[in-house]
Amino acid sequence: MSDDIYREIILDHYRNPRNKGKIAGPDVSIHDSNPLCGDEIDIHMKIEGDKIKDIKFEGRGCAISQASASMLTEMVLNKQLTSVKDLTKDDILENIGLTNLGPARIKCALLSLKVLKLGMVKYYADRDPASAKKLQEDSRTL
């Protein structure tokens, strides 16, 4: 697909975000921001067994950070945490389709993945401390 089509998709997610809002009684809620610009993302999840049964996000910020969060929620809904916890920076950049972003924009695109990983750190803290530690380390590289 051309960059123009990807730009259209990003704008569509920015204007009509999927899975935006809150969840009643979430199993995990987590918040983080981009310290450089102050943009913010909150992620709320319902987890059953090892599966993300529901996920919603709230946030404010640039088109890339918000569209990327919207796309990420679609990507992980109904997925097993065991597969989601290994998502990488490259998976996200490939998903949003913009491969030649500058470093500042890459931070925008990865903010929601960072928040999702921090949410899983919280979820795994007592259940699986080794996974929680690995996710914490991963989140520092985003």
Task: Report in angstroms how near the CB of residue 107 gets to ligand FES at its nearest.
Answer: 6
For residues 84 to 113, the per-residue mask of contacts with ligand FES, x marking binding by CB under 6 A and - elsewhere, is ------------------------x--x--
* 39 contacts ligand FES (rule: CB under 6 A): yes
Q: Closest CB to ligand FES among 119 and 132? A: 119
Q: Which helix (H) or strand (E) holds 136?
A: helix 129-140
Task: Report in angstroms how near the CB of residue 138 gets to ligand FES at its nearest.
Answer: 19
* 34 contacts ligand FES (rule: CB under 6 A): yes
Instruction: Region of 78 please: left (phi>0), alpha (psi -120 to 50) or beta.
Output: left
Task: Report in angstroms how near the CB of residue 35 gets to ligand FES at its nearest.
Answer: 10
Structure tokens at 102: 């500058």
In the block, residue with structure tokens 């259209």? 8
Q: Are 112 and 41 in contact (CB under 8 A)?
A: yes
In 1-128, alpha helices (H)? 3-15, 63-76, 81-84, 89-96, 103-127
Residues making contact with ligand FES (CB under 6 A): 34, 37, 39, 61-62, 64-65, 108, 111
